[in-house]
Amino acid sequence: MIFTVAIDGPAAAGKGTISRAVAAHFGFAHLDTGALYRAVGVKGGDPVAAAQTLTPEDLARDDLRTLEAGQAASRVAVIPEVRAALFDFQRRFARAEGGAVLDGRDIGTVICPEAEVKLYVTASPEVRAHRRWLELGGDAAEVLAQVKDRDARDMGRADAPLRPAADAVEIDTSELSIEEAVARAIEVVRARLA
Protein backbone atom coordinates (compact mmCIF):
# COMPACT_ATOMS: atom_id res chain seq x y z
CA MET A 1 0.00 0.00 0.00
CA ILE A 2 1.26 3.46 -0.91
CA PHE A 3 -0.18 6.04 1.49
CA THR A 4 1.48 9.35 2.30
CA VAL A 5 0.76 11.59 5.27
CA ALA A 6 2.21 15.08 4.75
CA ILE A 7 2.55 17.15 7.92
CA ASP A 8 3.67 20.76 7.55
CA GLY A 9 3.99 23.65 9.94
CA PRO A 10 6.33 26.14 11.57
CA ALA A 11 9.09 25.33 14.07
CA ALA A 12 8.02 24.02 17.51
CA ALA A 13 4.35 23.63 16.57
CA GLY A 14 4.46 19.92 17.43
CA LYS A 15 4.59 18.43 13.94
CA GLY A 16 7.57 16.18 14.73
CA THR A 17 5.93 14.74 17.84
CA ILE A 18 2.65 14.23 16.00
CA SER A 19 4.40 12.74 12.96
CA ARG A 20 6.33 10.18 15.00
CA ALA A 21 3.17 9.19 16.90
CA VAL A 22 1.07 8.85 13.73
CA ALA A 23 3.79 6.79 12.02
CA ALA A 24 4.09 4.49 15.06
CA HIS A 25 0.31 4.13 15.39
CA PHE A 26 -0.19 3.04 11.77
CA GLY A 27 3.15 1.27 11.28
CA PHE A 28 4.29 3.77 8.63
CA ALA A 29 7.86 4.88 7.96
CA HIS A 30 8.71 8.37 9.26
CA LEU A 31 10.95 11.07 7.81
CA ASP A 32 11.70 14.34 9.58
CA THR A 33 12.62 16.29 6.46
CA GLY A 34 13.91 19.14 8.60
CA ALA A 35 16.71 16.79 9.68
CA LEU A 36 17.88 16.72 6.05
CA TYR A 37 18.20 20.51 5.99
CA ARG A 38 19.67 20.61 9.51
CA ALA A 39 22.30 18.06 8.45
CA VAL A 40 23.18 20.11 5.37
CA GLY A 41 23.37 23.27 7.48
CA VAL A 42 25.65 21.83 10.17
CA LYS A 43 27.80 19.89 7.70
CA GLY A 44 29.32 23.20 6.65
CA GLY A 45 31.16 24.05 3.46
CA ASP A 46 29.26 24.42 0.22
CA PRO A 47 25.57 23.71 1.04
CA VAL A 48 24.80 22.34 -2.45
CA ALA A 49 27.68 19.86 -2.26
CA ALA A 50 26.63 18.97 1.30
CA ALA A 51 23.08 18.22 0.11
CA GLN A 52 24.30 16.15 -2.82
CA THR A 53 26.56 14.02 -0.60
CA LEU A 54 24.31 13.62 2.46
CA THR A 55 24.87 10.29 4.25
CA PRO A 56 22.96 8.36 6.95
CA GLU A 57 25.78 9.33 9.34
CA ASP A 58 25.03 13.00 8.67
CA LEU A 59 21.42 12.38 9.73
CA ALA A 60 22.53 10.67 12.97
CA ARG A 61 24.54 13.62 14.32
CA ASP A 62 23.92 14.61 17.93
CA ASP A 63 23.79 18.34 17.17
CA LEU A 64 20.84 18.36 14.74
CA ARG A 65 18.29 19.44 17.39
CA THR A 66 20.14 22.57 18.50
CA LEU A 67 18.85 26.09 17.91
CA GLU A 68 21.96 26.75 15.78
CA ALA A 69 21.18 23.74 13.56
CA GLY A 70 17.61 25.01 13.11
CA GLN A 71 18.85 28.42 12.07
CA ALA A 72 21.39 26.83 9.69
CA ALA A 73 18.62 24.69 8.18
CA SER A 74 16.47 27.75 7.55
CA ARG A 75 19.39 29.51 5.83
CA VAL A 76 20.26 26.61 3.47
CA ALA A 77 16.60 25.79 2.75
CA VAL A 78 16.26 29.01 0.73
CA ILE A 79 18.88 27.76 -1.78
CA PRO A 80 17.03 26.23 -4.77
CA GLU A 81 19.90 23.84 -5.60
CA VAL A 82 19.84 22.45 -2.06
CA ARG A 83 16.07 21.92 -2.25
CA ALA A 84 16.44 20.19 -5.65
CA ALA A 85 19.13 17.85 -4.31
CA LEU A 86 16.89 16.73 -1.45
CA PHE A 87 13.61 16.61 -3.45
CA ASP A 88 14.06 13.18 -5.05
CA PHE A 89 15.11 11.56 -1.77
CA GLN A 90 11.96 12.80 -0.08
CA ARG A 91 9.67 11.76 -2.98
CA ARG A 92 11.07 8.23 -3.06
CA PHE A 93 10.63 7.90 0.70
CA ALA A 94 7.06 9.23 0.58
CA ARG A 95 5.84 6.92 -2.17
CA ALA A 96 7.52 3.72 -1.01
CA GLU A 97 5.38 0.68 -0.26
CA GLY A 98 4.06 0.44 3.29
CA GLY A 99 2.98 4.01 4.04
CA ALA A 100 5.00 7.04 5.08
CA VAL A 101 4.68 10.11 7.25
CA LEU A 102 6.83 13.10 6.31
CA ASP A 103 7.00 16.29 8.30
CA GLY A 104 8.44 19.57 7.12
CA ARG A 105 7.44 22.88 5.62
CA ASP A 106 6.55 22.07 2.00
CA ILE A 107 5.53 18.41 2.02
CA GLY A 108 1.86 18.92 1.15
CA THR A 109 2.48 21.81 -1.23
CA VAL A 110 5.65 20.80 -3.12
CA ILE A 111 7.11 17.40 -2.22
CA CYS A 112 3.87 15.38 -2.12
CA PRO A 113 0.92 17.42 -3.39
CA GLU A 114 -0.79 14.07 -4.08
CA ALA A 115 -0.49 12.92 -0.43
CA GLU A 116 -3.54 11.07 0.79
CA VAL A 117 -3.55 13.12 4.02
CA LYS A 118 -2.25 16.66 4.51
CA LEU A 119 -2.06 18.23 7.94
CA TYR A 120 -0.90 21.71 8.85
CA VAL A 121 0.21 21.82 12.48
CA THR A 122 0.58 25.29 13.93
CA ALA A 123 0.56 27.27 17.18
CA SER A 124 1.04 30.91 18.13
CA PRO A 125 4.63 32.23 17.94
CA GLU A 126 4.57 32.84 21.70
CA VAL A 127 3.56 29.25 22.49
CA ARG A 128 6.14 27.86 20.05
CA ALA A 129 8.89 30.07 21.48
CA HIS A 130 8.03 28.96 25.01
CA ARG A 131 8.23 25.30 23.94
CA ARG A 132 11.60 25.90 22.27
CA TRP A 133 12.82 27.76 25.37
CA LEU A 134 11.78 24.83 27.61
CA GLU A 135 13.65 22.46 25.28
CA LEU A 136 16.83 24.47 24.77
CA GLY A 137 16.92 27.20 27.42
CA GLY A 138 18.49 30.59 26.79
CA ASP A 139 16.94 34.04 26.86
CA ALA A 140 13.15 33.78 26.36
CA ALA A 141 12.86 37.08 24.48
CA GLU A 142 15.70 36.08 22.16
CA VAL A 143 14.09 32.68 21.49
CA LEU A 144 10.82 34.43 20.55
CA ALA A 145 12.71 36.79 18.22
CA GLN A 146 14.44 33.80 16.59
CA VAL A 147 11.12 31.96 16.12
CA LYS A 148 9.62 35.04 14.44
CA ASP A 149 12.73 35.52 12.26
CA ARG A 150 12.59 31.89 11.18
CA ASP A 151 8.87 32.15 10.39
CA ALA A 152 9.56 35.22 8.24
CA ARG A 153 12.34 33.40 6.35
CA ASP A 154 10.34 30.19 5.91
CA MET A 155 7.12 31.93 4.88
CA GLY A 156 8.81 34.57 2.75
CA ARG A 157 11.21 32.48 0.69
CA ALA A 158 10.63 32.49 -3.06
CA ASP A 159 11.07 28.72 -3.46
CA ALA A 160 8.46 26.56 -1.65
CA PRO A 161 7.40 28.96 1.11
CA LEU A 162 5.81 27.57 4.27
CA ARG A 163 2.04 27.66 3.91
CA PRO A 164 -0.80 25.19 4.37
CA ALA A 165 -1.85 23.19 1.32
CA ALA A 166 -5.30 24.22 0.11
CA ASP A 167 -6.71 20.84 1.18
CA ALA A 168 -4.78 20.48 4.46
CA VAL A 169 -6.55 19.92 7.76
CA GLU A 170 -5.24 22.47 10.26
CA ILE A 171 -4.43 21.46 13.83
CA ASP A 172 -3.65 24.40 16.11
CA THR A 173 -1.77 23.00 19.09
CA SER A 174 -1.62 26.27 21.04
CA GLU A 175 -4.09 25.00 23.64
CA LEU A 176 -3.99 21.24 23.01
CA SER A 177 -2.12 18.63 25.00
CA ILE A 178 0.22 16.35 23.07
CA GLU A 179 -2.30 13.53 23.49
CA GLU A 180 -5.17 15.66 22.13
CA ALA A 181 -3.14 16.82 19.12
CA VAL A 182 -2.00 13.27 18.30
CA ALA A 183 -5.57 11.96 18.66
CA ARG A 184 -6.87 14.57 16.19
CA ALA A 185 -4.19 13.66 13.66
CA ILE A 186 -4.85 9.92 14.02
CA GLU A 187 -8.58 10.56 13.58
CA VAL A 188 -7.97 12.36 10.27
CA VAL A 189 -5.65 9.62 8.97
CA ARG A 190 -8.00 6.84 10.07
CA ALA A 191 -10.92 8.50 8.24
CA ARG A 192 -8.91 8.72 5.00
CA LEU A 193 -7.71 5.12 5.30
CA ALA A 194 -11.33 3.98 5.64
- Tell me if 115 sits within 8 A of 6, measured CB to CB: yes
Q: Up-side HSE of residue 28: CA atoms within 13 Å toward CB?
A: 30
- Tell me if 78 sits within 8 A of 157, measured CB to CB: yes
**Residue 9, annotated ligand binder?**
yes
54-87 CB burial, b ≥16 within 10 A, e <16? beeebeeeeebeebebbbbbbbbbbbeebbebbe
Residue 157: φ, ψ to 5°: -70, 150
**Residue 17, annotated ligand binder?**
yes
**Residue 11, annotated ligand binder?**
yes
**What Å distances lie between residue 154 and 50, 76, 99, CA to CA?**
20, 11, 27
DSSP structure class, residue 194: -
**Residue 148, annotated ligand binder?**
no
**Residue 43, annotated ligand binder?**
no
**Residue 12, annotated ligand binder?**
yes
Per DSSP (E only), the strands in 88-190 are 100-104, 117-122, 169-172
Label residue 28 left, alpha or beta by phi (over 0 means left) and psi (-120 to 50 means alpha). beta
Question: Which residues fall in the annotated binding site?
Answer: 9-17
Binding site residue list for ATP: 9-17
